[in-house]
Amino acid sequence: MPKFLVCFFTMVICSLSWGQESALPSDFRQHSLTQFNASLFNPTYALDWNNPNSLSIWTRWQWQSIDGDPTSIFANYTHQLNASSVAGGGFLQHNTGIFLYTGGNLNFAQTFELDDGVGLMVGLNVFAFQQTIADEQYVQGDEPDPVALEDLEGFKVQFTPGLRLLVNRFSVGLALENAVGFNVSGNNGSNMESFQSITGTLSNDFPIQLSEGLGDSYVRPVIYVKSVPNGDTQFGLNGLFSTSKFWVQGGYNSFYGPSGGLGVTISNAFSVGGLMEFGTDDLLSEEDPTIEIVASYHFGKTKLKEKVPPEEPEVVLPNPNRREEEIEQQRRTQEQRELEARRQLQREKDSLAEVQRIKEQLELQREKDSIALLQNQKVAVRPNERYEEVESEDGLEPGFYLIANVYGTKKYFENFMKTLRGKGLEPKSFYRSLNKYNYVYLERYNTMDEARKARDSKFFGKYMEKTWIFRVKGN
């Protein structure tokens, strides 16, 4: 079979003659891609039609022998990232007869599950290419002069988004070739007129079970409509019958005419096929057929079904000790489960204890850091500012204390505390053995700025009498 295909394609290519060049639409002419490299047709087809993970090459010779008229070459690798997204990259060379586009392609597509059996597929193709004038033999007649065309040369970037709604096996797709484009370099400015060739598709996969050897077979009809700027809207129909060993396809395009092709898959990994298209439009009546060849290699592992001889039924003889053995086995299983449950409980307790220990260590470290911060603060005393500072004081935490009053008589001290509580305050106090006085303070602060703010604001309007600041450094 492979030798036959090689001979077939060689004979077809050699038999084609040089044809008169006709006006070509500037789109990629990818309407017959239904199984490999279909992401050029709609970026979302990379999810299921490109057969990831795979490397595929597609080439199209338009109305001619290999060395002549406009051609398209697209080599692309598609890689499955996860169950719902794929990415790919490739090389594209497209010859319209006037211009030659040479560059790369990046593709990404993602599926969003909307409901059971319903998914929305979103994809994007990014093309970056160098646009140059093709062979000058095509730039003649009514075509622009090559010198004028040089202004259109440069490096371009185009973005082609695509959408597809999939309901079970039926899908509705929309693709917009060059929805956004711009020039990176060239003489025609930074803005680039968007091409906006819009393609709408309807398709459905009908599964067919022919034989186990042919795997999951299906028939895929595709109806499409494509609007092309400065050209007639194209209508088309493609039909694909695909198995794990071969595929056959046919189609019709209102401008390019009918087409037919076939291909084979070897060792469930390597596929090669070809297609011929015959122009029936009045503009193409004298043109030779168009040739397409595609090759693809699938990197996924394929598991082949092995024929396993049927097992002979096991003869079970009655065993008087079997019931006792089952009971003993159940008892051992239960003991093992209880032991594992106790171990799991102990692991959880140990984990909680470790978490508590770490928490206490962090809290202790924060306290140490806070004390160190308080000790290292330097205070610049303002003129006429009442301020007192001691290295340490028994029972007092380091900080800045807002002092309301100092008493040497217990009676006056207690009356003052009672008065403050009656005003809704919560005063605190400490006793200094050095001078035998009781110090009444309203609050302790970590910084001098906080203490000054409370003092200057009359304890935020709660205590209108004078206060002063007493600091304990805490060495």
Write down the residue that tokens 């047709």 correspond to: 41
Residue 89 CA, distance from chain mean position: 15
* Nearest of 444, 415, 412 to residue 428 by alpha carbon: 444
Q: Please provide the DSSP assignment of 177-238 as one string.
A: ETSEEEEEEESS-SB-----EEEEEEEE-EEE---GGG-SEEEEEEEEEEE-TTSPPEEEEE
Q: Distance between CA atoms of 396 and 430, rounded to whole angstroms? A: 8
Q: How many residues does the chain have?
A: 475
DSSP 8-state class, residue 467: -
Whether this prediction's pTM lies above 0.85 is answered by no
- Count the neighbouring beta carbons within 10 Å of the beta carbon of residue 170: 11
Q: Distance between CA atoms of 443 and 427, rounded to whole angstroms? A: 7
Cis peptide before 53 (omega within 30 of 0): yes
Q: What is the pLDDT along the chain (475 residues), one digit of tens a residue?
A: 444 443 443 443 333 333 333 456 667 788 888 888 898 889 999 998 888 888 999 898 876 555 556 788 989 999 999 988 999 999 988 887 777 889 999 999 999 999 888 999 999 999 898 888 776 444 444 455 555 556 667 888 888 999 999 999 899 999 988 778 778 876 554 455 555 688 999 999 999 888 877 777 889 999 999 988 777 888 999 999 998 888 999 999 888 889 999 999 998 889 999 998 887 766 666 677 888 899 999 886 534 334 444 555 555 555 666 778 888 899 999 999 999 999 999 999 998 888 888 888 888 777 666 666 666 778 888 888 999 999 888 889 999 999 999 999 999 999 999 999 999 999 999 999 899 999 999 999 999 999 999 999 999 999 999 999 999 987 6
